[in-house]
Amino acid sequence: MPWPLEIRGLKAQYGDKVILEDLDLLVEKGEILTVLGGSGCGKSTLLKHAVGLMEPAAGTVKLLGLDLLQADEGEKKEVLTRTGVLFQGGALLNSLTIAENVALPLEQHTDLPGAVISDVVRMKLSMVGLFDAAGLFPPELSGGMRKRAALARAIALDPEILFCDEPSAGLDPLTAAGIDRLIRDLRDTLAMTVVAVTHEMASVKLIADRVLMLDEGNVLFEGSLAEMRESNNQAVQDYLARKAPAAAGGTGTLLAALHCEEENK
Ligand SMILES: Nc1ncnc2c1ncn2[C@@H]1O[C@H](COP(=O)(O)OP(=O)(O)OP(=O)(O)O)[C@@H](O)[C@H]1O
Ligand SMILES: [Mg+2]
């Protein structure tokens, strides 16, 4: 059995700016991996590489056993139909209703008849508690409802692996916990593998089997939450304590500090 996600020696950059360097990541089937790290450290960039939206400057990315760099468009498309992505911000189409948004991947990637698609859409909307919102447009929903709608769309095709970029960020604690529980339930009921980017420790506690922590383009820590708590690394402990790093630093440090302030509000 291939790893659902196998990344080796990944180098990610925008122009000359290197964001991730020599990153290795293996994700096991059925696990929930949470990716942590300060703002701008490259979490979303990592996800974009994992689903082939960006090409690595170096290294390999295998998604559900397929080497994305070697694959042709047809193979890539097939693997992406088995992959769910919840983008940071949701990325719903405002001109379509919630039901139409969720139906989109089913229409694009399957030959299912319209009636079956409607049934699947209703089922997915029920799973995220949005059955009654099917006919509303994204701007008519609250932030938490939009995230749940985006999640329903991401799981429309019953993906084997689900990528979520900050699924519960910016939501009130109860709504956030509801989304986290939903992600855990999906893993439990559909045996999905989940890679979730977050900077909420509350989310990590609720869902993480394993934590990957990024800093300055490298892996700062990888292991369980219990192991994270026992880590001798000061930056890991600062993160757990939600403290800004002590050393004076560049923008990264300032951003991390701002993040901490924001989160402590
Ligand atoms: N399209 C782009 N072009 C150039 N630089 C980019 C682009 N997208 C992101 N970056 C830069 O890459 C770095 C990593 O960005 P990324 O979005 O991966 O961070 P992140 O860890 O997801 O942050 P956040 O927690 O704020 O979402 C940042 O310095 C960002 O400015
Ligand atoms: Mg991001």
- Bin 189: left if φ > 0, else alpha if -120 < ψ < 50, else beta: alpha
Full-model pTM: 0.88
Report which bound ligand comes closest to the CA of 54.
Answer: 1
Query: Where are the domain boundaries for CATH 3.40.50.300 in the chain?
Result: 27-82+159-265
Structural element, H or E, at residue 188: helix 173-190
The pLDDT assigned to 183 comes to 92
Q: Which atom of ligand 1 is nearest to the CA of 47?
A: 18
- Ligand 1 lined by 42 (C-beta under 6 Å): yes
Average pLDDT over residues 248-265: 45
The pLDDT assigned to 222 comes to 94
Cα–Cα distance list, 20 to 14, 124, 257, 262 (Å): 10, 35, 21, 25
Summarize pLDDT for 167-224 with one digit per residue, the tens: 887 778 888 888 899 899 989 988 899 999 988 888 899 999 999 999 988 899 999 9
Domain 27-82+159-265 has CATH 3.40.50.300: yes
Q: What's the CA gap between 220 and 234, in Å, rounded?
A: 10
Residue 57 CA from chain centroid, whole number = 22
With CA atoms as reference, report the closest residue to 161 among 192, 206, 183.
192
With CA atoms as reference, report the closest residue to 66 among 7, 154, 153.
7
Q: What's the CA gap between 120 and 34, in Å, rounded?
A: 28
Contact 227, 240 (CB under 8 A): no
Contact 35, 43 (CB under 8 A): yes
The residue contributing the CA closest to ligand 1 atom 6 is 14
Q: How far is the CA of 197 from the centre of ligand 2 (A)?
A: 8
Joined together, the tokens standing for residue 178 give 């509801």
**Parallel, antiparallel, or unpaired for β 5-14 and 58-63?**
antiparallel
Facing residues of 60 across strands?
A: 8
Of residues 265 and 127, more confidence is placed in 127
Q: Residue for token digits 């498309």?
A: 77
Structural element, H or E, at residue 48: helix 43-50
What 8-state DSSP symbol labels residue 172? -
